[in-house]
């Protein structure tokens, strides 16, 4: 009886950990896209026109008026950074999230192995 309960708990944990891993994977993908975009933006000069994505295939025309962007650093605080400075911050975030994802995947592998043991 106890092993059935443990098995059910492991299955539930696997489900939750997989969901969390999926969220982290999407976040990693988003950060990579942002980093790539910031690298491309470093070559854009003040005065050039660009298309700014608004989402779902919608774009707005805009003119670059500064070599700096506004970056939300949390708690409603925004600071000006160059594209390069912003990209360094994004790369640090990417490294941190990737590290957490690796830990979560390791935990998931352990849980799946434990589930397989209990299933036997």
Checking if the pLDDT of 47 tops 70, the result is: yes
Assign 1 a pLDDT band (cuts: 50, 70, 90): very low
Cα end-to-end distance, the chain, whole Å: 14
Mean pLDDT is lowest, of 2-6, 8-12, 71-75, 85-89, for: 2-6
What pTM value is reported for the model? 0.83
φ and ψ of 45, to 5 deg: -95, 155
Q: Residue 73: what pLDDT?
A: 86
pLDDT digits over 63-80, tens only?
999 989 999 988 999 999
- The length of the chain in residues reads 120
- Domains of the chain: which residue ranges? 2-119
Query: Per-residue pLDDT averaged across 12-17, rounded?
Result: 97
CATH T-level fold of 2-119 = Helix Hairpins (1.10.287)
Assign 22 a pLDDT band (cuts: 50, 70, 90): very high
Percent of the chain with pLDDT over 90: 78
φ and ψ of 79, to 5 deg: -135, 155
- In this structure, what DSSP letter does residue 44 have? P
Question: Are the C-beta atoms of 69 and 89 separated by less than 8 Å?
Answer: no
Q: Which two tokens stand for residue 73?
A: 């650093």
pLDDT digits over 84-120, tens only?
999 999 999 999 999 999 999 999 999 999 999 888 7
């Amino acid at each position: 009886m106890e092993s059935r309960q443990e098995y059910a708990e492991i299955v539930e944990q696997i489900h939750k950990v997989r969901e969390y891993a999926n969220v982290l994977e999407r976040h990693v993908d988003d950060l990579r896209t942002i980093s790539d975009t910031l690298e491309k933006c470093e070559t854009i000069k003040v005065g050039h026109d660009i298309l700014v994505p608004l989402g779902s295939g919608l774009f707005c025309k805009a003119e670059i008026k500064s070599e700096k962007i506004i970056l939300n650093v949390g708690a409603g605080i925004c600071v000006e950074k160059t594209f390069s400075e912003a990209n360094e911050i994004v790369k640090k975030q990417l490294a941190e999230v990737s590290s957490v994802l690796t830990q979560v995947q390791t935990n998931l592998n352990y849980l799946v192995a434990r589930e397989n043991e209990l299933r036997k």
